[in-house]
Structure 1
Amino acid sequence: MSQETAGLRPRPSREGSAGTGVGTAFGTFGELLQGVLPEEDGDFLVTLPVARWTMATYRHDPRSREVQVHPAGKTKALQLARTIGKLAARKTGAATGGTLHVNSVIPEGKGLASSSADLVATARAVGQALRVEMPPSRIERLLAEIEPTDGVLYPAIVAFHHRSVRLRDVLGTLPVMAVVGIDEGGSVDTVDFNRLPKPFTLADRHEYARLLDRLSCAVRRRDLAEVGRVATRSAQMNQLLRHKWSLEPMREICREVGGLGVAVAHSGTTLGILLDTRDPSYTQRVSEAARACGELAGGVTVYRTLSFANRLARNGPTACVEA
């Protein structure tokens, strides 16, 4: 039987205690769409935020210039904390050392934006503790020096240039969906993956542009059926780059249970069936999907997507042609 993701958002105090900063960031279930557009710097993705979180806490020690991180393996978060500390020290001349704790319920190496969430939460925590403003544009610049990054610093569904770490567009928000997810096993290093040449033709790139237009309009219309169709097509096109043996069986399960479509971690190991939680038959559909996915791959996790209030597309509505 599936297990419903607990993943409740932490509730730190707004300001933290004196000399202490707290930051959070959500993860994603892969991407609704990921590919390459015809233009220069064409690598992009569209986020699928889910209720899985990272919390970072930074305790500033004004007597120290050293930064420690727990767990010790969070080396990228440590690198970022040190960089922000240097920014603060240039302004004040004071010691900016301290201890960074990174706590996450996002599995690593699966394509769920665990590393991006660690870094965004760290930037917010260290910036708060050292009184360094951390608007999204600054976080983007800092993260670009470390690795390709997902768009989890924005509370919305966004189109994001992950290689150059740059926002393309804020698409908006959607009603809550469930994602009945499986894991094919193993792990993927995001940095190594993004060094791979993309085997997409110019025709593929133009198709990605059309898919992005379709998805942008679907989010603005809150059209979950169209969102599912775009996500499924993106998963199919990604087979050229990172093949998933379970994609076609997952598509068949999706059809059998009346799901919206299949979303994948394009640079990871996870796949999931999208379901509308408002559907009167949702309970039956999610149970059937979890049972069938369990028979296919063993362990199953049910994620919940995040819905954001009062979020509008940055560039305003575009002309959306009805399908």
Structure 2
Amino acid sequence: MAEARCPASCGELLQGWILGGEKLVSCPIDWYSEVEVRAGRPMAEERPLSRRMLDQVIDHFGFDPADVPPLRIDCRSTIPIAKGLASSTADIAATAVATARWFGRELDEITLARLCLRLEPTDSTVFRALTLFDHRHGACHVSQQWLPKLDILILESPQTLTTCACHRRIGDNDLRAQEEQLNGAWMLFRQSCAQHSPRLLGEAATLSARARNSLLPKPGFDKLLRIVEQQDIYGLNVAHSGTVVGLLLDASRHDTDRLMAALAETGLLRHYTRQHITRVVAGGVR
């Protein structure tokens, strides 16, 4: 038996046309997909992408499938699907590493990212550091060596949106039109990492969220911006190809009960019917 787990992401801290192409910076949180690989008959309700990943790993290491016994994939996850929380990346990345471990092998981050990209666009949660990543082609990955102390109040809408459906709605021309805004957000993000400033990071994430809201509106977005200002929290981020919103704060400095009361008073919780308190963690598969 071999196990691995990969974190979800509360949307993205940044996403858009940055440095000449679409890229993102995921926001890994302490919510995990846990995968166990062991000898045994495959489960009937197994996730197809996880099986494809297992087969890819077998091929990557050059094993003859005929010599490999039947393997069972047990994926345990409560991460909501099609909300922008990187549930699929978490599943397949954890499956890849658990499979490699079953064979007594390891996968480095770059190889893991490439294996995931063969199956679908991939979040940068596969990297331990906060990383600007070309999530469709893998041509760029720029890591920042700072892990912010950051709590997030996740606002979950009952609405769902798949990444593929989002890409059908938002084209490259739409993204190119926001290049100046997003490059500015990226520079501010880099500054926040250099200065270890959650405040600047929140400003960068909010800039990116504002740009994406013009293409993929979130319910009550302007009210959320006012709450950010009134409660003096760091900012907000969004799922750029999903439906969740994250309010960025420090639970030791900001009053989460007061924040929840403000959300209720404005009626925003009619749109965001589930809320989760979480925190930013290092990415990468454990």
- TM-score under structure 1 length normalisation: 0.79
Q: Pairwise mapping of residues 65-214 of structure 1 onto structure 2 (< 5 A)?
A: 68-69=42-43, 71-72=45-46, 74-88=47-61, 90=63, 94-195=67-168, 196-200=170-174, 202=176, 204-214=178-188
Preserved contact between residue 16 and residue 175 of structure 2 (Cα < 8 Å): no
Where does residue 47 of structure 1 map in the other structure?
26
Preserved contact between residue 85 and residue 97 of structure 1 (Cα < 8 Å): no
For structure 1, list consecutive stretches of 5 or more residues without a partner in the other structure: 1-19, 62-66, 309-323
* Larger helix proportion of the pair: 2
Please say if 1:296 is aligned against 2:271. Answer: no
* Distance in 2, Cα, partners of 1:173 & 1:102: 30
* Distance in 2, Cα, partners of 1:229 & 1:124: 35
- How far did 1:123 drift? 0.4
| Paired positions, count | 277
Residue in structure 1 matching 2:10, options 29, 53, 72: 29
Preserved contact between residue 54 and residue 117 of structure 1 (Cα < 8 Å): yes
* Distance in 2, Cα, partners of 1:98 & 1:143: 19
Residue in structure 1 matching 2:36, options 44, 52, 57: 57
Preserved contact between residue 179 and residue 303 of structure 1 (Cα < 8 Å): yes
167 and 57 in structure 1: CA distance in 2 versus 1, 3 angstrom threshold: farther
Q: Letter of the aligned partner of 1:143 in structure 2?
A: C
* Distance in 1, Cα, partners of 2:110 & 2:69: 22
- How far did 1:246 drift? 2.0
Where does residue 241 of structure 1 map in the other structure?
215
Q: Letter of the aligned partner of 1:291 in structure 2?
A: A
Question: Which segment is superposed worse, 169-178 or 111-120?
Answer: 169-178
- How far did 1:70 drift? 6.6
* Distance in 2, Cα, partners of 1:128 & 1:246: 45
- How far did 1:69 drift? 4.4
What do the CA deviations read for 1:174-218 (whole angstroms, capped 9, x no partner)? 332221221232211123323441343655213312211210120
* Distance in 1, Cα, partners of 2:154 & 2:262: 11
Give secondary structure in 2 for the equivalent of 1:152: helix
Preserved contact between residue 71 and residue 102 of structure 1 (Cα < 8 Å): no
Preserved contact between residue 148 and residue 194 of structure 1 (Cα < 8 Å): no
- TM-score under structure 2 length normalisation: 0.88
* Distance in 2, Cα, partners of 1:92 & 1:299: 44
- How far did 1:241 drift? 2.4
Root-mean-square deviation over aligned CA pairs: 2.2
Q: Which of the two has higher C-alpha Rg? A: 1
Preserved contact between residue 264 and residue 270 of structure 1 (Cα < 8 Å): yes
